[in-house]
Amino acid sequence: MAKEIERKFLLKNEDWKSQVDKSFSIKQGYLSTNPERTVRIRIKNKKGILTIKGITKGISRLEYEYEIPFQDAMELIDLCEKPIIEKVRYIVIDDKLKWEIDIFEGENKGLELAEVELETENQKINLPNWIDREVTSDRRYYNSSLIKMPFKDWSN
């Protein structure tokens, strides 16, 4: 059984940019946004990825990912709910943790998030100076929620 344990944060500044290890563009859509089971198609580096996630309990949920043929992913993304999520992901290693910084484009332009996956729910982490407030439990920041209420439509 695959389990994802993840925390999400807003960014405070751009100090993380000097620590970027690599970056790539992501295009993803959702075939199902039911909170009990989301089904996502992602295109990243000319690869197709099918992801199925279970309901979030605390900061954990079941997650299954499978590589699928690129052409299938291109066709499936056209079947997804709109808008399609577009973002550039930057990988940053800080204090031996892999941070994924997502800078959104398109309908969610202006949104910038940092995510870190953990080994356990109560794992202690030292937050980098570029991290602002935690938004893990705020469903608005779930990618599957951003297609229903894109960031551009938030009144903050």
Tell me the pLDDT tens digit for each residue of 25-47.
999 999 999 989 999 999 999 99
Q: What's this model's pTM, rounded to 2 decimal places?
A: 0.93
pLDDT value of position 97? 95
Instruction: Give the mean pLDDT of 92-103.
Output: 96
Question: 72: domain CATH number?
Answer: 2.40.320.10
Per-residue pLDDT at 13 exceeds 70:
yes
Q: Total domain count for the chain?
A: 1
Per-residue pLDDT at 1 exceeds 60:
no
Per-residue pLDDT at 120 exceeds 70:
yes
CA distance 90 to 137: 22
Q: Among all residues, which ones are annotated catalytic? A: 30
Per-residue pLDDT at 99 exceeds 90:
yes
pLDDT value of position 155? 80
Domain with 119, as residue range(s), is 3-153
- How many CB atoms lie under 10 A from the CB of residue 16? 20
pLDDT value of position 35? 84
Match 């056209």 to its residue by tokens.
78
Binning pLDDT at 50, 70 and 90, where does residue 11 land?
very high
